[in-house]
Each structure stands twice: as structure tokens, then as C-alpha cells.
């Protein structure tokens, strides 16, 4: 089985990346595991032209970049999105990706598809102490999964994490979550 872990942050060396590394370390012995960082891909914002609602494909010149990421989704049996809070929601880069994935979403016919039977997991982190912000991030990710027809199978919210050094004391909590995947 294949697992895809997505660093939804534009920061490749911060707390989100540290969590991705822990998840990777826990899953690599059980799954063929691949990690990507959304910031490794260069794509433009969706223009809202709705051409994909009629064609099931994007007409923008950089559509191949999105298809490449979606090929990774298609290959995965398990998808884990790890997202920090950017003003109480997912980072703009990940939101822009979600917008560009509209051709694969079940919001219209025809639509492109990925193989069925996938399970999606979400990990949200934020600097503050309250959980509702993590729940909002998790909700955004799970809503996205739903439109891809990926089953939301579990989530973890982590508060009071600002720097990667803050992840260490929460490592066992992350490991325990990974053991449920």
C-alpha cells in the first residue's frame, strides 16, 4: 500500500515539516511512503472560468503541474495532509491547490477521478492554545477529501506549536495517531 504525506505549509523546515518527518518515520515501515511539500510546485490561482465543469480538465497553461500532484493522489491508498494555521485556516498555497483540483471534484459532471477506496487523514497545528482553529483546518481538509471521494478516516489537532522545537514534546501523541493509520 502507498501513503502520501503532504506538507501543506510553504515552509519546508518548520514545525509542519517536523511533523511530516515524524509521520514519515512511523509509516515508512508499513507503507511505500512519499512526502511532498505544496511549495515545491509552481502553479497559478484558479481563474474561475468553469471550463473544467464541462471538460473535466483545466485549461490553464500550468495544468500539468496539478495533474502531476493528482497522479500522486491517485497512486496513494492513504493521504495525510499536515497543515499549519494561517489566519485560522489552511495556508493559501494549499487552498490554491484545492481550487485547481476542481476538475477531480464531484461537484459537477463530468469530472476526472482518482481510484476509489482511499483513506484521508488530517493533522492541524497552530501556535495558540485553543482547539477550534485546528478543527476549522481539519474541516477544510476533510471537506476537500469528501469532494474527491476520499474517506476521512482520522485527524489530529495540535495546539501551542509555533516552532519545530515545540514538536518534540508532542512526538508521542503524533506517533500514537500514526499507529491508527
pLDDT per residue over 36-56, tens digit each? Answer: 999 999 999 999 999 999 999
Of all residues in the chain, the percent with pLDDT exceeding 70 is 100
Compute CA 141 distance to the chain's CA centroid, rounded to the nearest angstrom.
7
**What's the grid cell of residue 13?**
523546515
CB 134 within 8 Å of CB 161: no
Task: Provide mean pLDDT across the span 61-71.
Answer: 96
State the pLDDT at residue 79: 98
Burial of 87 (0-12, 13-18, 19+ CB in 10 A): exposed
State the pLDDT at residue 15: 98
Supply the mean pLDDT for the chain.
Answer: 96
Burial of 36 (0-12, 13-18, 19+ CB in 10 A): middle
- Note if the pTM is more than 0.75: yes
**What's the grid cell of residue 96?**
490554491
Domains recognised in the chain with CATH numbers: 2-178 (3.40.50.360)
Task: Provide mean pLDDT across the span 78-104.
Answer: 96
Residue 5, helix vs strand vs coil: strand
- pLDDT-based confidence at 118, cuts 50/70/90? very high
State the pLDDT at residue 156: 98
Task: Provide mean pLDDT across the span 161-179.
Answer: 97
State the pLDDT at residue 98: 97
State the pLDDT at residue 4: 98
Which residues share a beta bridge with 156? 123
Q: What is the DSSP string of 105-173?
A: STTSSS-----S--EEEEEEE-SSS-SHHHHHHHHHHHHHHHHHT-EEEEEEEE-S--SGGGTGGGHHH
- pLDDT-based confidence at 126, cuts 50/70/90? very high
Q: 124 phi and psi, to 5 degrees?
A: -115, 140
Q: Distance between CA 65 and CA 63 in Å, rounded?
A: 5
Q: Distance between CA 177 and CA 155 in Å, rounded?
A: 8
DSSP 44: P
Amino acid at each position: 500500500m502507498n501513503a502520501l504525506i503532504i506538507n501543506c505549509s510553504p515552509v519546508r523546515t518548520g514545525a509542519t515539516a517536523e511533523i511530516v518527518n515524524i509521520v514519515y518515520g512511523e509509516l515508512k515501515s508499513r507503507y511505500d511512503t512519499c512526502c511532498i511539500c505544496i511549495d515545491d510546485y509552481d502553479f497559478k490561482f484558479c481563474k474561475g472560468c468553469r471550463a473544467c465543469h464541462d471538460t473535466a480538465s483545466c485549461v490553464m497553461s500550468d495544468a500539468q503541474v496539478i495533474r502531476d500532484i493528482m497522479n500522486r493522489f491517485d497512486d496513494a491508498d492513504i493521504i495525510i495532509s499536515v497543515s499549519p494555521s494561517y489566519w485560522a485556516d489552511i495556508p493559501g498555497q494549499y487552498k490554491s491547490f484545492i481550487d485547481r483540483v476542481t476538475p477531480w471534484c464531484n461537484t459537477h459532471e463530468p469530472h476526472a477521478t482518482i481510484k476509489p477506496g482511499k483513506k484521508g487523514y488530517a493533522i492541524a497545528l497552530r501556535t495558540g492554545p485553543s482547539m477550534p482553529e485546528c478543527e476549522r483546518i481539519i474541516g477544510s481538509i476533510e471537506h476537500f477529501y469528501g469532494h474527491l471521494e476520499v474517506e476521512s478516516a482520522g485527524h489530529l489537532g495540535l495546539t501551542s506549536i509555533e516552532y519545530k522545537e515545540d514538536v518534540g514534546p508532542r512526538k508521542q501523541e503524533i506517533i500514537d495517531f500514526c499507529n491508527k493509520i
